[in-house]
Structure 1
Amino acid sequence: MPNGDGWQGDVLRDLRGGVQQGAQGPGGPAYGASTPGPGPAAQSAQAPDAAHGGGAPGQAGYPYQGQEQQAPAAYAPGPQSHNAPGSRPVVDKELDGVVRRKPQHGESFATRAARALRRILASSAAREVAGITRTAEVLQRPVTTGRQIAVTSIRGGSGKSTVAALLGTTYAHYRQDPVLVLEADPALGSLPVRLGVESLRWTASEIADIVKPDMSLLDVTGYLVQLPDNAWLLPASQGQIGVMLDSRAYERAVVALRRYFGVMVIDCETLPAEVARVALAAAHGRVLATPATPEGITSTYSVLQWMQGLPPHVIAGTVVVLTELVPHPGLDLDEAVQKLTSTGASVQVLPYDRHLAAGGPVHTELLAQPTREAVARLAADVFHLSQKRH
């Protein structure tokens, strides 16, 4: 295919240059391969220092690997650290009464009751358990270098941040090593809201100047927002209009943080933004969220055809997520999946879910059963592809 002009040509050049690094990620070798060795950071009874064991998950001494998970105590930056920014609420207090409401379940009570009855009367329960077991085995595979999974889209309103939040939550649930959800979309991104975060403080551009090689995991997570299980969030901004995250700050943040986390889920800007192109070039796995609409299918197919002109592993490591935004989209999903899969990409469908469609924080216990199963399959598919190349 022709290289094309405009943003496609830029992406082509960035990917062809960046993918030579492979798992190295932006700015250097992957996951601390040539990162200066940590210094004598203070020991903690809650979390072993990253200095013991080289900082790679799956190796002896990696922070939290194979140990009981404990929430790290708040880390107070010393006098030599940067001035701490003030905490800022994710949702303005004047809007609390408007946006905070009781969340509803992803599917109706009648639907849940019917599914429970079918499970009792049919033999599908054993097959369901077997499928969940296989998915869990993939999600729990050990890694020797941290996986970077970039989530992006080619148009707004595709559910990109929702997919990133669901992936981060899923990996944190199944895995023992630390998980970081990094927001690389500072333009009023919805990721903190979807993750149920109350307030924000440190941002990605600030962390890039703070994290040093001799810091322990306990030190680092003191600058992050703790999420349920063994996960943390690093926002791109505090929600201010006009805040930017340039590619250099993003690269420095990822290089500084990647040695501490087994999986990093990166919520990127919509293509063709610069940071999104940098993140895609360095990622081990790529997720392209698109609405399950005729327009979404058409534009995604064009992008996948263009990606076929890139090195083969780029499209082979890409998963397209078709998000159903309405209950009955009037689209032949089977035919759409078959057409998109013919390009060499993997395709997953995120079914319509009342809980997700309502917006606000995602409560996994309120997701419909088909949604939970689809998210687990998606997470396993992306994780499997991220390991195949390496």
Structure 2
Amino acid sequence: MAGNGGDWQRDLVRELTDGPRAEGGAPHAPGTGPGPEPEPEPEPEPQAQPSAPVPRQSRDPRTPTPVPESLPTIDPRLAIALGRPRHGDSAVRRAGAGVRRLTASPGREVAEQTRDARELQQPVTTGRVVAVTSIRGGVGKSTVSALLGRTFNHYRQDPVLTLEADAALGTLPVRMGAESVRWSAADLATVLTPAMQLTDVTGYLVPVADGGWLLPAGQGRVGAPLDVATYRTVTLALRRYFAVTVVDCETLPGEVARTAMDTAHARVVVAPMTAEGVHGTRQVLDWLAGLPHSALASTVVALSAATPDATLDAKAAAAHLREPGVTVVPLPYDRHLAQGGPIHTAKLARDTRDAAVRLAAEVMGRAVRVR
């Protein structure tokens, strides 16, 4: 793959957009082609549900992999309680921001946007993996992962995957706007083969409304946690199909999170805007500094404000986190994000969108520089 330069990206997109090919070409998308492909085994493949792909074979070719049941990400009895999504900024704040944009010089803003877009659209010769974690749950880790995935989807023309690697009952599918999930990372690990094409793989993934794909860690049930072996199998196999993979890891010091942070091309540590949160995140940065390779050089801290009434001095907190030599990107409080539920990009506050783009640009720049 690496020897083909940037051509592999166009080839993969062509496979997806051209659809099934006849003899000698890439296999058709699971469950959508004109007929089954010849198989060495005489037994016919099991029939899947209409919207689910049919696995080519399990690890034991004599034992077909059962098709998981499709389950909603939010219980329908609870979905009606979500209410209408709020805008991240109030009407007064939006009006004031419009006036400030009219009176401000556009030169600097355009220059920054151009720089960020250039970073985000850098070509890659092999898939880049970005790991996102935090020191504890509930600080916005999945929200930051979803913002990164959506930002990469918006700016890049090649395939982007957002992967959930949280052993707990994660919220990434909900934040990404998935209405239901079927195949999990553990399910996919049992059917992945080197012969699969992009169109085969995407049949097991959840398409994201504004582009890209999602692979959940589970179906929202309490069950066996995602283990390191499964994580390695899935990420190593999927890197050849996707230019960027954003991994929503479990919290540190979980084993999967430590593995993901150690093996990723770039890392994001989400720090809550609290004294204990900043202190704990600084300890994580000191740990990354002790890894055999230069992990800090490819790490960015997202300093997230979960309340509009935070009393911690943001500049002092950012300065403390920058001491080891990392970049800190503040993520302001946003009413839309605080509401929970699916993230609607158009509802985000302007400052939140700008911060998400800057964070993604910082991360992409580091991921590309890593060999």
Query: What's the TM-score, normalizing by structure 2?
Result: 0.85
Task: Read off the aligned partner of 1:139 and give its amino acid letter.
Answer: L
Instruction: Give 1:19's aligned residue.
Output: none
Task: Read off the aligned partner of 2:69 and give its amino acid letter.
Answer: G
Cα-to-partner distance string for 1:304-339 (whole Å, 9 max, x where unaligned)? 233332346111111111100111311221122122
1:64 aligns with 2:13: yes
Instruction: Give 2:179's aligned residue.
Output: 198
SS at the partner of 1:63? Answer: helix
Task: Read off the aligned partner of 2:84 and give its amino acid letter.
Answer: K
SS at the partner of 2:239? Answer: helix
Tell me how far apart the structure 1 counterparts of residues 9 and 336 of structure 2 sit (CA, whole Å): 41
* Residues 269-348 of structure 1 aligned to structure 2 (within 5 Å): 269-311=250-292, 313-348=294-329
SS at the partner of 2:252? Answer: coil
Tell me how far apart the structure 1 counterparts of residues 254 and 99 of structure 2 sit (CA, whole Å): 48
Distance 1:95 1:120, change over 3 A: same
Tell me how far apart the structure 1 counterparts of residues 239 and 80 of structure 2 sit (CA, whole Å): 39
* Match for residue 240 of structure 2 among 243, 255, 259: 259
Tell me how far apart the structure 2 counterparts of residues 263 and 199 of structure 1 sit (CA, whole Å): 23
Measure how far apart 1:61 and its partner are. 5.3
Contact kept in structure 1, 2:134 and 2:252, CA below 8 Å: yes
Distance 1:313 1:178, change over 3 A: same
Instruction: Give 1:167's aligned residue.
Output: 148
Contact kept in structure 1, 2:330 and 2:355, CA below 8 Å: yes
Instruction: Give 1:108's aligned residue.
Output: 90
* Match for residue 66 of structure 2 among 70, 83, 87: 83
Instruction: Give 1:16's aligned residue.
Output: none
Greater alpha carbon shift after TM alignment, 181-190 vs 305-314: 305-314
Contact kept in structure 1, 2:181 and 2:219, CA below 8 Å: yes
Tell me how far apart the structure 2 counterparts of residues 70 and 196 of structure 1 sit (CA, whole Å): 26
Contact kept in structure 2, 1:268 and 1:276, CA below 8 Å: yes
* Residues 42-61 of structure 1 aligned to structure 2 (within 5 Å): 57-59=6-8
Tell me how far apart the structure 2 counterparts of residues 363 and 70 of structure 1 sit (CA, whole Å): 30
Tell me how far apart the structure 1 counterparts of residues 75 and 356 of structure 2 sit (CA, whole Å): 30
* Match for residue 373 of structure 1 among 354, 361, 364: 354
Tell me how far apart the structure 2 counterparts of residues 152 and 310 of structure 1 sit (CA, whole Å): 16
Distance 1:378 1:273, change over 3 A: same
Measure how far apart 1:254 and its partner are. 1.2
SS at the partner of 1:248? Answer: helix
Distance 1:358 1:70, change over 3 A: farther
Tell me how far apart the structure 1 counterparts of residues 324 and 204 of structure 2 sit (CA, whole Å): 41
* Match for residue 99 of structure 2 among 79, 93, 117: 117
Measure how far apart 1:303 and its partner are. 2.4
Task: Read off the aligned partner of 1:63 and give its amino acid letter.
Answer: L
Q: Which runs of no fewer than 5 residues in structure 1 stay unpaired?
A: 1-31, 34-52
Contact kept in structure 2, 1:168 and 1:265, CA below 8 Å: yes
Tell me how far apart the structure 2 counterparts of residues 263 and 58 of structure 1 sit (CA, whole Å): 15
Measure how far apart 1:239 and its partner are. 0.5
